[in-house]
Chains A and B, each alone.
Chain A
């Protein structure tokens, strides 16, 4: 992920809230390190979706990444995650 190094990313608090929204047990907690790692995972998820979309757009010779291109890369993306 060359150009996307120390740039944007998911804030720990956002990640925490997103996870806690779906926990079934109130007692479930997340360690700080795990939150940081989850933030990385989510970042990769988004960047992969974007980069694969670009690849598809280039293969189709279109000028920009539209939902059509995204739809085509979605199955493999979800299988990889």
Chain B
């Protein structure tokens, strides 16, 4: 039994490491863009530090989001919960609120396009799957 518990611990650890690596990659890309834009380089340690920071911050975000949703008696976290996360800085809140409307608008247009396609298609009455389906429309 002890061995099993250890493997579970190890599995969780290596899973976290993989997630951290994925974060590190994205952070590297984002910092590269900033470096080009501002004409200033970042040390590798800085990029690693920002990655670690982001991973830790996700823990806070996740727990807060779960609490917000539960407070509203929901099990599904929605955009209102995310907006609550951004409450500490006015400019951040504004940016996130604007983005939220932008995302809602884009998704609304997508759904309208899909609906139009299936209406034009006629025979095909299959319901399109929810978010998570990668669209390859050109």
Contacts and interface: CB of A to CB of B under 8 A. Distances in A.
A and B interact? yes
Interface of A: 2-4, 7-12, 14, 17-25, 27-38, 40-47, 49-51, 53-54, 57-58, 63-67, 69-70, 74, 78-81
Interface of B: 15-16, 19, 22-23, 26-27, 29-38, 40-43, 45-46, 49-50, 53-55, 57-59, 61-63, 65-66, 69-70, 75-79, 81-83, 85-86, 88-89, 92, 95-96, 99-100, 103-104, 107, 130-132
Contacts of B89: 80-81
A53 B23 CA distance: 19
Contacts of A27: 75
A37 to B, nearest CB: 4
A70 B27 contact: no
Contacts of A10: 23, 26
Contact of A28 (B16, B19, B23, B66): B66
21 contacts: A4-B30, A4-B33, A10-B26, A12-B131, A17-B19, A19-B61, A21-B19, A21-B62, A22-B63, A27-B75, A29-B76, A30-B65, A31-B79, A32-B107, A32-B132, A33-B103, A37-B82, A46-B31, A49-B50, A64-B41, A78-B57
A30 B77 contact: yes
Main secondary structure of the interface of B (DSSP, over half): helix
A28 B34 contact: no
A34 B45 contact: no
A22 B59 CA distance: 6
